[in-house]
Amino acid sequence: MKIQKILFVSHCILNTASKVVMYNDEEMAQEEALRRRFVHAALDAGVQLIQLPCPEFTLYGTKRWGHTSNQFDNPFFRSHCRKLLEYPLMEIEVYMADPARFKVLGFVGIDGSPSCGVDYTCVGPWGGNLGGREDLGSLAADVRLVKKAGVFFDELEKLLKERGAVLNRTGLLASEPEKVMKLLV
């Protein structure tokens, strides 16, 4: 019997309608090109894609602002992430219990996301009411990528560790396209 390969992916890899509205067209076009390349390659390789829930959409809907990971790094958001991950973790358990039929290849997130970053997330001192501020330009610019996971994937990592599961994971990042493609092999 042929082993089926399974990959868990961030929600917006299959549904970009869940994403924060972005205004940097060039950046978005590069990410979209890689997303399409990756999804097409996964389908061609017969890899089954399982969609994780979107932790931000399920709290704030479609009109949310962009955030930094500092804003989500609190027990309430972490608890929300843990609850969302309960079902996917049970799915993983079931597939991993039958290695003769299934191989779980790992996880793909979205690098730079405050939630779904895997190798990189964004940090910055954002927060507070926007009205009356005169430093909005510098505040918006005061955000940078750092080499660590976003809050959702950080919680995922902890939950996997608690279960003794070791699985590959990486993030979709237009400037490093090959790392996500490697997961399909």
Site of interaction with ligand SF4 (CB under 6 A):
10-12, 18-19, 54-57, 110, 113, 115-116
Q: Report, in Å, the least distance between residue 15 CB and ligand SF4.
A: 8
Pick the closer one to ligand SF4 by CB: 19 or 105: 19
* Residue 11: how many other CB atoms lie within 10 Å: 23
Q: Report, in Å, the least distance between residue 59 CB and ligand SF4.
A: 10
Pick the closer one to ligand SF4 by CB: 15 or 101: 15
Closest of 133, 132, 147, 129 to residue 65, by C-alpha: 129
- Which segments of 28-157 are extended strands (E)? 48-51, 102-110, 121-123, 144-146
Closest of 72, 96, 117 to residue 163, by C-alpha: 96
Q: Report, in Å, the least distance between residue 55 CB and ligand SF4.
A: 5
Pick the closer one to ligand SF4 by CB: 4 or 14: 14
Q: Which amino acid is at 4?
A: Q
Pick the closer one to ligand SF4 by CB: 9 or 100: 9
Closest of 109, 97, 99, 1 to residue 52, by C-alpha: 109
